[in-house]
Amino acid sequence: MKRIILHVGRHKSGTTSLQASFWENRNLFLSKGILYPESSRRENAHHLFAEALHPKRVRENGLANVENEDVIRNLINEIESSSCQTVLISSEAFQNCTPTDVKHIFRNYDVSIIFYIREQVGYLESAYLQEVQATNYHESIERFEEERFFVDYYKFYKSWEKEFNNGNVIVRAFEKSKLKNGDIVDDFFETVIFPLTDGEFQYKKPQYDGFLRNASLKGIYIPFKLRLNTTIKIHKPCLYQTLGILSDEIDENSTVISEYLKYKVNNDYRESNFNLSEELGLDFNFFFNRSSKVYYHSHSDISPSEFLNLLRQLIARDERCSYLLRELYSYELIDENEHFKFIFSDNLILDSLKFIYLNTAKQQRRLFSELETSDGSFRIKKEKFNPQTDFLSIFFENEKNSVPLRLMNGA
């Protein structure tokens, strides 16, 4: 019977680094009798396979039908056709699957489960900042914790242990002091891969930190992205990547988690963590965040000028992000018989503006008083505005000496 090593995450525990190393060493694995399948992958991991087993899809389509889908069959067929007796499969999306369904799919194999866990306070912060960075989420971390953060490790462990038996579920601590060489890749190879082969061997490592791969938002970029998220609908990869790079360059040792929230999270999971520690012999103190970071008020407001300056820095670093200017500082020009109607983009909220000017060849005319409070739009008689040459500009509040920002016609 072939053996399957199923790496099921968890999220925010070095999975990107691990999966990059798995893919980088797939040919070396083959020479050692270990298959890292090419089928059912997205990037370096088997996310497509795991997502096909999401409980919602299984409920809607039935497990028997899901089992016959190409994304499932292709990977199983690759396993069967390979001469390798050991198979490594990896996706943190498995943590959302029902272990009973996973067991059914792999019922003809000897399966071992492995996952890494990190203390919940650090997990919460990392998950929250990832959500803010990657999506348009703009709520507080307190609300995120209340509505989206459910990390009962003991319950998670028992759900897998029930289906795959004690000893076939391996739990490792994702903390530098507890990882081999302080590195997630070294830890996995030395504790999981090497015992499957005839001894240690040289392997390739990804060209980045093997403990934390994805650069998270830091410092002023947190309130910047939170404000940005209230309006933009399009999140291009360049935005995510560039914000990560800029944040990584900041010498910022801060946290978005208050002492109260830290206490709440530790207290909520104290019993669960104790039970897991007792059953697996883990260090119970591992679960208590010992960060040296100082408290950072992530939701202190960012001024319009600070926001615009950061946006300009973002575009200067990667001009592909210039699409944000049109989304944030533009207007739609509508022809209404004798008038032009100007409708601002949603982010041009009135309370952040000091003046709006109409700029023509002959004059610069202040228009703020002409805004209609109902929708933030205004009208100008056609003889007073030439769409080909004239334009609008704005000053933000409390910026007497600032250079106005020219608005773009987004129509």
pLDDT per residue as tens digits for the range 380-401: 888 888 888 888 777 765 555 5
Residue 129: inside a domain, yes or no? no
Q: For helices 141-148 and 120-134, what crossing angle results, to 10°?
A: 110
The band of 276, judged by pLDDT with boundaries at 50, 70 and 90, is very high
Same domain for 206 and 333, yes or no, is no
Structure confidence at residue 212 (pLDDT): 40
Strand, helix or coil for residue 280? helix
Residue 67 CB partners (closer than 8 Å, separation 6+): 73, 104, 105
The share of the chain scoring above pLDDT 90, in percent, equals 55
Number of domains in the chain: 2
- CA-closest candidate to residue 42, choices 3, 77, 75, 82: 75
- Output the pTM of the full model: 0.82
Residue 164: inside a domain, yes or no? no
The per-residue pLDDT for range 50-77, each reduced to its tens digit, is 999 999 999 999 999 999 999 999 999 9
Q: Among residues 182, 213, 244, which one ends one of the domains? A: 213
CA atoms within 13 A on the CB side of 372: 10
**Residue 102 sits in which domain range?**
3-118+174-213
Same domain for 194 and 336, yes or no, is no
Residue 49: inside a domain, yes or no? yes
For residue 199 the two structure tokens come to 């001894």
Q: How far apart are CA 196 and CA 304, in angstroms?
A: 57
Q: Residue 10: is the preceding peptide bond cis (ω within 30°)?
A: yes
The per-residue pLDDT for range 192-245, each reduced to its tens digit, is 999 989 888 999 987 754 444 466 888 889 999 998 888 787 788 899 999 999
Same domain for 67 and 203, yes or no, is yes
The per-residue pLDDT for range 99-124, each reduced to its tens digit, is 999 999 999 999 999 999 999 999 99
- Distance, C-alpha 212 to centroid of its chain: 13
Residue 15: inside a domain, yes or no? yes
Q: How far apart are CA 181 and CA 175, in angstroms?
A: 11
Residue 209: inside a domain, yes or no? yes
- CA-closest candidate to residue 304, choices 355, 254, 266, 246: 355
Structure confidence at residue 404 (pLDDT): 63
Residue 404: CATH number of its domain: 2.60.40
Residue 232: inside a domain, yes or no? no
Mean pLDDT of 345-357: 61
Q: Where are the beta strands (DSSP E) in 270-396?
A: 294-295, 330-336, 339-344, 353-359, 364-366, 378-381, 391-396
Same domain for 343 and 196, yes or no, is no
Same domain for 35 and 181, yes or no, is yes
The share of the chain scoring above pLDDT 70, in percent, equals 86
Res. 373: pLDDT tops 70: no
Q: Among residues 161, 189, 213, which one ends one of the domains? A: 213
Residue 292: inside a domain, yes or no? no
Structure confidence at residue 231 (pLDDT): 78
Mean pLDDT of 328-348: 77
The per-residue pLDDT for range 243-257, each reduced to its tens digit, is 999 988 887 777 888
Same domain for 209 and 337, yes or no, is no
Residue 389 near residue 379, CB atoms below 8 Å = no
Residue 182: inside a domain, yes or no? yes
The torsion defined by the Cα of 187, 191, 197 and 201, in degrees rounded to 10, comes to 30
